[in-house]
């Protein structure tokens, strides 16, 4: 599992260190404090050979797809949108330490400014993106350096239709060690029928679908089973609720779909990966929250994953107390806040501290 991480120069995180992670880690704090940025940083650090994830995390923030025409969106991952400052992560897991450095590749076209379209008039307004644009960038380079073994370099290069990726390493075998991998669920992502259908198919092949369906019963007790399939050449997942016909899961409500996707993230992929969930309470009623925490803990043990999530919901946070009462050491809560100078800091609460704060009526969010 991931033990600690240092984040430098990523978005608004200028030298943030977090440590003593547990099996389930909950991020709380005011809007704009950096919770989502921490989850995005964990996503990139856990998959250092996939710089395309920068495109994914930007699109989750409603930015346009990457191409040579939208190169300026790459700048948003750099502190103060200054691509001359590298992004770096230093992490430690149970298998060792490693660092990841992400740098921008200077453009070949020389000095130019981005053109922005306002209505029917095309204008040049570099100040609306970042003051003092002097040249474009043509891509990113990510360098992974483990404490032992060969380094790996991954390059993302922009082209007119998108981007191209390449990975270079001297190692004969795929890099091992502190590279956990991740599954990211952003705040507005409720379902992924293709991924859920694939995960269920694998579970049914092993007769191991019970814990997955059990987690969904915390939200919808009527669920008897889930059936993956294909309709019109598109993947689908149907739920047996005891009706004459099966029901597509995407019509069962955002909360059900959200928990289904969380369960998918846990059971799919390799053991030891990070499950990253932004606003885990989205679409959920308080009555299911304690059950969800309990299912998360149970599934995380069964599939060997580590959970990082954020919430603004006081009830969601309070429901961790009964859910983790039997395994207090599995939970840590981190309050992330930003001061008037923009510096980001964290305060960690273990189970006992969280319990005491709740008893005294303190709001740790």
Q: Three-state SS string across 264-279, please?
A: HHHHCCCCCCEEEECC
pLDDT of res. 112: 41
Angle of helix 286-303 relative to helix 254-267, nearest 10 degrees? 10
Angle at 344 between CA 70 and CA 40, to 5 degrees: 40
The helix (H) or strand (E) run that includes residue 286 is: helix 286-303
Per-residue burial over 38-69, b = 16 or more CB atoms within 10 Å of its CB, e = otherwise: bbbbbbbbbbbbbbbbbbebbebeeeeebebe
Nearest to 365 by CA among 326, 329, 311: 311
pLDDT of res. 253: 85
Angle of helix 286-303 relative to helix 210-217, nearest 10 degrees? 160
pLDDT of res. 264: 92
pLDDT of res. 179: 78
Q: Where in the chain is the domain with CATH 3.40.50.300?
A: 20-47+181-365
pLDDT of res. 311: 94
pLDDT of res. 192: 85
Stretches where the chain sits below pLDDT 50 are 110-134
> Whole-prediction pTM value?
0.89
pLDDT of res. 171: 63
pLDDT of res. 294: 92
Phi and psi angles of residue 327, each rounded to the nearest 5 degrees, phi first: -150, 70
Provide the phi-psi class of 275: left if phi over 0, else alpha when psi is between -120 and 50, else beta.
Answer: beta
pLDDT of res. 189: 81
Other C-beta atoms closer than 10 Å to the C-beta of 362 total: 12
Task: Give me the CATH topology for the region 20-47+181-365.
Answer: Rossmann fold (3.40.50)
Residue for token digits 């995960």?
Answer: 199
pLDDT of res. 175: 58
pLDDT of res. 109: 52
pLDDT tens readout for residues 55-98: 999 999 999 999 999 999 999 999 999 999 999 999 999 889 99
pLDDT of res. 27: 97
pLDDT tens readout for residues 149-194: 888 999 999 999 999 999 887 666 655 566 788 999 998 887 888 9
2 in Cβ contact with 23 (< 8 Å) = no
């Amino acid at each position: 599992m991931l033990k600690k991480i240092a984040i430098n120069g990523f978005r608004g995180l200028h030298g943030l260190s977090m440590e003593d992670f547990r099996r389930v880690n909950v991020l709380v704090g005011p809007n704009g404090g950096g919770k989502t940025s921490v989850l995005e940083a964990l996503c990139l650090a856990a998959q250092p050979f996939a710089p395309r994830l920068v495109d994914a995390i930007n699109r989750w923030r409603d930015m346009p797809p990457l191409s040579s025409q939208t190169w300026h969106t790459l700048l948003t991952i750099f502190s103060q949108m200054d691509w001359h400052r590298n992004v770096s992560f230093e992490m430690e897991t149970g298998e060792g330490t490693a660092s990841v450095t992400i740098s921008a590749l200077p453009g070949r076209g020389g000095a130019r400014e981005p053109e922005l379209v306002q209505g029917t008039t095309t204008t040049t307004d570099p100040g609306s993106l970042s003051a003092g644009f002097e040249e474009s960038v043509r891509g990113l380079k990510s360098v992974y350096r483990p404490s032992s073994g060969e380094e790996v370099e991954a390059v993302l290069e922009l082209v007119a239709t998108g981007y191209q990726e390449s990975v270079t390493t001297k190692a004969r075998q795929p890099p091992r060690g502190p590279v956990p991998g991740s599954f990211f669920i952003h705040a507005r992502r409720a379902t992924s029928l293709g991924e859920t259908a694939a995960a269920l198919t694998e579970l049914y092949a092993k007769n191991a679908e019970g814990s997955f369906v059990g987690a969904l019963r915390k939200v919808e007790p009527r669920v008897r089973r889930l059936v993956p399939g294909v309709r019109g050449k598109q993947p689908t997942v149907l739920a047996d609720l005891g009706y004459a016909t099966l029901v597509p899961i995407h019509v069962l409500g955002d909360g059900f779909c959200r928990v289904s996707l969380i369960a998918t993230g846990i059971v799919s992929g390799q053991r030891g990966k990070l499950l990253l969930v932004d606003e885990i309470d989205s679409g959920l009623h308080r009555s299911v929250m304690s059950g969800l925490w309990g299912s998360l803990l149970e599934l995380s043990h069964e599939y060997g994953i580590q959970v990082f999530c954020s919430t603004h919901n006081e009830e969601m946070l309070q429901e961790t107390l009964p859910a983790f009462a039997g395994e207090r050491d599995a939970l840590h809560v981190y309050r992330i806040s930003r001061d008037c100078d923009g510096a980001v800091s964290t305060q960690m609460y273990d189970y006992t501290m969280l319990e005491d704060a709740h008893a005294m009526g303190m709001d740790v969010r």
